[in-house]
Structure 1
Amino acid sequence: MPKVTANGIDIHYEEHGDPGDPAMLLVMGFGAQLTLWPDELVDALASQGFRVIRYDNRDIGLSQKFDGVKAPGIVRMTLMSKLGLTPRVPYTLRDMAADAIGLLDALDIGKAHIVGASMGGMIAQHVAANYPDRCRSFTQIFSTTGNPKLPQARKEALQALVTRPKDNAEEVLVEHGVMLARTIGSPGYPSPEDRLRERVLTSLRRSFYPEGPTRHLAAIVADGDRSRMLRNISVPTLVLNGEDDPLVPCEGGRDTAACIPGAKLKTIPGWGHDLPLELVEILSDDIAAHARNATN
């Protein structure tokens, strides 16, 4: 299993496609392993002429963990943010963006197409804003600007995301994972039960580390409103959002596209906060076409 030192920490990654093709870096979201990028989507992008690289963010999957480093409570952090104060957190989204750049450095990749989903979209925003010379293009998938005036997650989606299982028995964890996937997933493209359970079980057996998402959430809350930063992005940008996303409402994607000069926006009815197989062809075509059309 390939692993490199990037930004001073160990990062696990996987590559697909021809090493001579333009690099495309996939950045996954909150508490999610690289395996949440469906193999079918990865293969589709590789077949369109890209060297596709997906990796585990710090504190999740097979990448380096920050054991024993405590994050402040979410209530305290939210209150501080509302008061205009920046809470002290174990690491920031900008640190995680530096991980992405460190991975490109370790692989001797000068520039890449950056694709980020959910929290990965926020990380990718920092990459595009702060390392424009390393980005050929930027694609954001179901993410947002952090603008507090935007519609927030539906109550049931947020509750499912932050609620912990009653114990760590495998069958309990699988049921919890299936419940979460169903709650935030696409109402127009429900995943077959057997596929969903297999995906959750495979993920759990690959790595189970519930402390990491706590620090991920701290990094998101501490990052605040990125609207001003986004207005300085000059990288060719595509924003993709589901119109039925209960976790990151579509307004977050619309606000991102409005902030980034020249950004293109596409919304899809029935799509929630997941990557259903029925949308693989559409998403891979959109991402690949945007990357090919980028002039960076």
Structure 2
Amino acid sequence: MREDGRCWDTLSMPIAEASPGVFIEYETFGDPSDPAVLLVTGFGAQLIAWHEDFCRALAERGRHVIRYDNRDCGLSTKFDDHPVDVDRFTSAVSSGDISSALAMAPYTLQDMADDGLGLLTALGIERAHVVGSSMGGVIAQTMAISHPARVLTLTSMMSSTGEPEYGRSSPEAQAVLLSPKPADREGYIAAAEKDLVWGSKRYGSAALLRGLAAESYDRAYYPAGSGRQLAAVILSGSRADALRELRVPTLVIHGLDDILTDPSGGRRTAQLVPGAKLLLIADMGHDRPREVWGEIIDALVSHTG
């Protein structure tokens, strides 16, 4: 029960058909009569990347929170019939052979955005506040650009515009992101500590990274989907022109310790979207440490109020 005495369903874990043949696993928190907030995850991340306590805290502030697995991740639909050789794909892109790269990718970033909107439709929600983190920010931007009437507000977190000169990864961070993860459980969990490279310098925790890796591995270990997600993002190109024309109220959040997506990506996003608000958070990297949740949730409640 919330502080105002209203009862609400704390959590549900069903699956919905968001697009023809694409089923999306999702969970909800809070009262369905409250304003809907759709949380979109990043590259290779399952819905549990939005911590349950974070979702509950946001729901306690009067929001109906929805988190979900993107296609090719977690418990949502997998595209096993379309393997992507990441090395061959990146070589094609680097050499300018875009037609070959396109032929390797079974879906686009727009398809991923349509999944999120399709989930809202399946839930009977016409309009929602959309919050995307990292690749999820790119997906959220795409939702707002392609279907602005369905997005009440946009929050783009630790993301960028698709312009190569902004939001660049450091070589060290990029090497960790693209390095193959061990297939065995113990190795996978141990390798998660490498993600500290782009985390909060003050609050980064190897123990928390190992814990999330263990939960992710046990819930749905599925590395094959990452190559297809990566292809969709890389081939999406720049959204700069579309962001200049966007008229959806926008909040941009970025951590100043982020070296996976440099803060220039957030600054550029806020610069392009008319009237966008920019929140730069000290002691946050390409992560959301619990110590900064209060600042993030306060900003989201204000933005979605």
TM-score in terms of structure 1 length: 0.93
Equivalence for 1:101: 117
Equivalence for 2:81: 68
Pair 1:124-2:137 in alignment: no
Q: 1:235 aligns with which of 242, 248, 251?
A: 248
Pair 1:170-2:185 in alignment: yes
| TM-aligned CA distance change 1:44 to 1:68, over 3 Å | same
Cα separation, 2, equivalents of 1:74 and 1:40: 37
Pair 1:142-2:155 in alignment: no
Equivalence for 1:213: 226
Q: 1:190 aligns with which of 180, 183, 204?
A: 204
Contact residue 115 and residue 138 of structure 1 kept, 8 A: yes
Q: Which amino acid in structure 2 is aligned with residue 31 of structure 1?
A: G
Cα separation, 2, equivalents of 1:283 and 1:75: 38
CA deviations 1:250-286 (Å, max 9, x no partner) are 0000110111111011111221101110011110110
CA deviations 1:42-66 (Å, max 9, x no partner) are 1111011000000000000000000
Matches within 5 A, 1:152-163: 152-163=168-179
Q: Which amino acid in structure 2 is aligned with residue 115 of structure 1?
A: V
Q: Which amino acid in structure 2 is aligned with residue 152 of structure 1?
A: R
Unaligned 5+ segments in structure 1 are none
| TM-aligned CA distance change 1:214 to 1:197, over 3 Å | same
Pair 1:80-2:93 in alignment: no
CA deviations 1:60-105 (Å, max 9, x no partner) are 0000000030335212123327x89973321111110100110011
Larger deviation, residues 98-107 vs 72-81: 72-81
> What percentage of residue pairs aligned between the two structures are identical?
43
CA apart distance, 1:150: 2.2
Pair 1:37-2:54 in alignment: no
Larger deviation, residues 28-37 vs 265-274: 265-274
Contact residue 38 and residue 275 of structure 1 kept, 8 A: no
Equivalence for 1:202: 215
Aligned residues: 288
TM-score in terms of structure 2 length: 0.91
CA apart distance, 1:217: 0.6
CA deviations 1:203-225 (Å, max 9, x no partner) are 11001000111111101110111
Contact residue 177 and residue 200 of structure 1 kept, 8 A: yes
Larger deviation, residues 223-232 vs 71-80: 71-80
1:187 is paired with a residue whose SS is: coil
CA deviations 1:213-260 (Å, max 9, x no partner) are 111110111011110111121110000001110100000001101111
Q: Could you say what the CA RMSD is over the residues aligned between the two structures, in angstroms? A: 1.6
Cα separation, 2, equivalents of 1:48 and 1:147: 35
Unaligned 5+ segments in structure 2 are 1-12
Matches within 5 A, 1:273-284: 273-284=286-297
Pair 1:3-2:15 in alignment: yes
Cα separation, 1, equivalents of 2:223 and 2:167: 27
2:33 is paired with a residue whose SS is: coil
CA deviations 1:146-185 (Å, max 9, x no partner) are 11122520111110011013x41111111112222x1221
2:96 is paired with a residue whose SS is: helix
Pair 1:266-2:279 in alignment: yes
Cα separation, 1, equivalents of 2:270 and 2:249: 11
Larger deviation, residues 245-254 vs 168-177: 168-177
CA apart distance, 1:194: 3.3
CA apart distance, 1:200: 1.4
Equivalence for 2:8: none
Pair 1:133-2:149 in alignment: yes
Contact residue 83 and residue 224 of structure 2 kept, 8 A: no
Larger RCO of the pair (alpha carbons < 8 Å, separation 6+): 1
Contact residue 78 and residue 221 of structure 1 kept, 8 A: no
